[in-house]
Amino acid sequence: MDEKIKAWVDQIVWVEVVIVVEVLVVVEVLVVVEVLVVVVLVGFVLVDVQVVVVLVGFHKMVYFLEKMFVQLWGLGLGDVQEKRGRVLA
């Protein structure tokens, strides 16, 4: 019975890591789009810079949560980086 529970928990851990990686990818894409808007629309630099700062702050928060999650489940950071690379590829 313990093996079934351990296998189930391992599957849950994999799903959680993938969800965190997906959020990081989406936020990084949004940051790039906002930077392009800043370059094109020079008149709206201040508004766009504020949006970029908020998105970068959210990215840091997600990274902090990812780090905390990795420590909580005892996974190596290399495992998370490898899975992030698979999502980005």
| Number of Cβ atoms within 10 Å of the Cβ of 17 | 20
Read off the pLDDT of residues 17-32 as tens digits, 9 standing for 90 and up: 555 555 555 555 555 5
Please give the C-alpha separations between residue 81 and each of 12, 38, 76, in angstroms, as whole numbers.
18, 30, 9
Residue 7 has pLDDT above 50, yes or no: yes
State how many domains the chain has.
1
Read off the pLDDT of residues 39-74 as tens digits, 9 standing for 90 and up: 555 555 444 444 554 455 455 555 566 666 655 555
Boundaries of domain holding 41: 2-88
Confidence of residue 3 (pLDDT cuts 50, 70, 90): confident
Taking the alpha carbons at both ends of the chain, their separation in whole angstroms is: 37
- Reading the block at residue 25, the tokens are 């990818």
